[in-house]
Amino acid sequence: MALRTTASLILVALAMVSGAAAQTPAPLRLSFADAVRRAAGTAPVVELAGLRSDEAQARVRQARAALLPSLTASAAWLNRDFNKNSLGIKFPSIPGSPGLPDLIGPFNTYDSRLQVTQTLVDFSSVGRVRAARAQAAGARAEGGAASEAAAGAAALAYLRTARAEAVVGARQADSAIAAELVTLAEAQRRAGVSAAIDVTRARTQLVVAAGALVVARNQRDRARIDVARALGLDPATPLALTDTLTAGMGAADTPATPDSAIALAVARRPDLAAEEARADAARRTAAAITAERLPRLGLEADYGSNGPRVGSSIGTGQIAVQVTLPILDGFRREGRAAEQQAVVRESAVRTRDLTQQIAADVKGAFLDLGAAAAQQTIAAERLRLAQDELAQARERFKAGVAGNIEVIDAQASLIRARDTDIDARFAAAAARVNLARAVGLARDLH
């Protein structure tokens, strides 16, 4: 009776979890490579980086506008009168003429005009265009860095979910073994070759296994939510992972030695390219500020018609070439140039530190990869021995030469061995992903 009650409670708990899952729509089937590609292309951080790149490209067009023609059309009507004495000019009086009155007007003036300006020579504006282009290149490199980071984050989230899936499978296997041991203990008690305490111990292990299975399923579902968020999906989107923690998961075409991997990382890492682009933009901005001391040559022209009435307006125009030479602006220009030089030096420090960090990342990833391979070998052997131990303990209990305490101890060893094996496979896959991220190949993971 107690056995049926315990089994019923376990079945009800598991049915509630299964029933909740059954009410969800068909899951989105997702492979490891699909997750990486989706995150690298459509994750929110990648979209935001793309928009920042568009902003930087728009700033290039803004800077280029200073070198392109400017055309303006205007039309005006003016009605005015004025005091001639306000001009400060003494108008001579003509004998026999009443002379000009003090108040002249009111009168109308109509004027319509087209105005054109064109910069002919402006070294400072040319420098600002080059600086804006360097900033746009930096923004594109930052977009690549965001894509790399999103791909790496999605890869690790997928691995954690695959690990949670493996833990669920292990807990299901534990529950099946526990249920089998309960049946065996009941049979042994009925045959009179074991005590009632053996049945109680077996039922206790069954309940513990059922509780561990519930926890494992909850952790798996939470890990799936993390994957959905890493991909920019609705957290409620049901996912079905098609890849498991196999030996090849998280692989990329990375070099086999640390030195070659470091050389490739220095050439490929987009965050390093972004920092170098920021330094280039700062240098070009400083050069543009220095070029402000040089003369600027511009052309101005306008043509239109004006007159007291629209019908009697006549065409007028002018053309001018202007040379501007800045002399002194209160040393503001020198301060701006000094600021940009400091930015260049800061970027040089960050570039040197980032290069050293890249080398540290690559070497650390190789160390983790080697340790994970050794752990996998040890964990696989431990799992095999734990399975043999459980089989031998079960045979001894079935033969009546030992109680089921040996079986329970062997089962606990098998549980730990399974977890160790899962952790070792996860660590190896994570090490491969981290190596790809260190080299700058996270988007090429498969």
Mean pLDDT over 381-394 rounds to: 92
Q: Give the integer Cα–Cα distance in Å for 93 and 398.
A: 139
Residue 369 has pLDDT above 60, yes or no: yes
Residue 336 has pLDDT above 70, yes or no: yes
Q: Give the integer Cα–Cα distance in Å for 319 and 305.
A: 15
For the chain, counts of helices (H) and of strands (E): 9, 6
Residue type, 180: E
**Is residue 10 very low, low, confident or very high in pLDDT (cuts 50, 70, 90)?**
low
pLDDT tens digits, one per residue of 293-322: 999 999 999 999 988 888 888 999 999 999
Q: Give the integer Cα–Cα distance in Å for 159 and 215.
A: 18
Residue 413 has pLDDT above 50, yes or no: yes
Residue 199 has pLDDT above 50, yes or no: yes
**Is residue 15 very low, low, confident or very high in pLDDT (cuts 50, 70, 90)?**
low
Q: What is the pLDDT of residue 22?
A: 47
| Angle made by CA atoms 285, 290, 295, in degrees to the nearest 5 | 120
Residue closest to 117 by CA, chosen among 75, 61, 68: 68
Give the architecture-level CATH label for domain 29-67+129-292+334-444.
Answer: Up-down Bundle (1.20)
Q: What is the pLDDT of residue 16?
A: 52
267 burial class (0-12, 13-18, 19+ CB within 10 angstroms)?
exposed
Residue type, 193: V
Q: What is the pLDDT of residue 21?
A: 45
In whole angstroms, how far apart are CA 346 and each of 74, 127, 128, 349, 358? 48, 21, 20, 5, 18
Q: What is the pLDDT of residue 1?
A: 46
Q: What is the pLDDT of residue 2?
A: 47
pLDDT tens digits, one per residue of 50-60: 999 999 999 99
**Other CB atoms within 10 A of residue 132 CB:** 23
More confident residue, 14 or 109: 109
**Is residue 4 very low, low, confident or very high in pLDDT (cuts 50, 70, 90)?**
low
More confident residue, 15 or 323: 323
Beta-sheet pairing, 296-307 with 28-30 = unpaired
Q: Dump the DSSP string for 37-64.
A: HHHHHHSHHHHHHHHHHHHHHHHHHHHH
Alpha helices (runs of H) in 44-122, residue ranges in sequence order: 44-64
b/e sequence 425-442, b meaning 16+ C-beta within 10 Å:
bbbbbbbbbbbbbbbbbb
Residue type, 227: V
Can you read off the two tokens belonging to residue 31? 């492979």
Report which DSSP code applies to 96: T
Residue 300 and residue 115 in contact, taking contact as beta carbons nearer than 8 Å: yes
Residue 128 has pLDDT above 80, yes or no: yes
Mean pLDDT over all residues of the chain? 88
Q: Give the integer Cα–Cα distance in Å for 301 and 146.
A: 48
Can you read off the two tokens belonging to residue 313? 């307006």
Q: What is the pLDDT of residue 8?
A: 54
Mean pLDDT over 351-370 rounds to: 95
Domain boundaries, the chain: 29-67+129-292+334-444
- Percentage of residues of the chain with pLDDT beyond 90: 67
Residue 95 has pLDDT above 90, yes or no: no
Report which DSSP code applies to 252: -
Mean pLDDT over 27-51 rounds to: 93
Q: What is the pLDDT of residue 20?
A: 47
pLDDT tens digits, one per residue of 226-284: 999 999 999 988 999 999 988 788 888 999 999 999 999 999 999 999 999 999 999 99
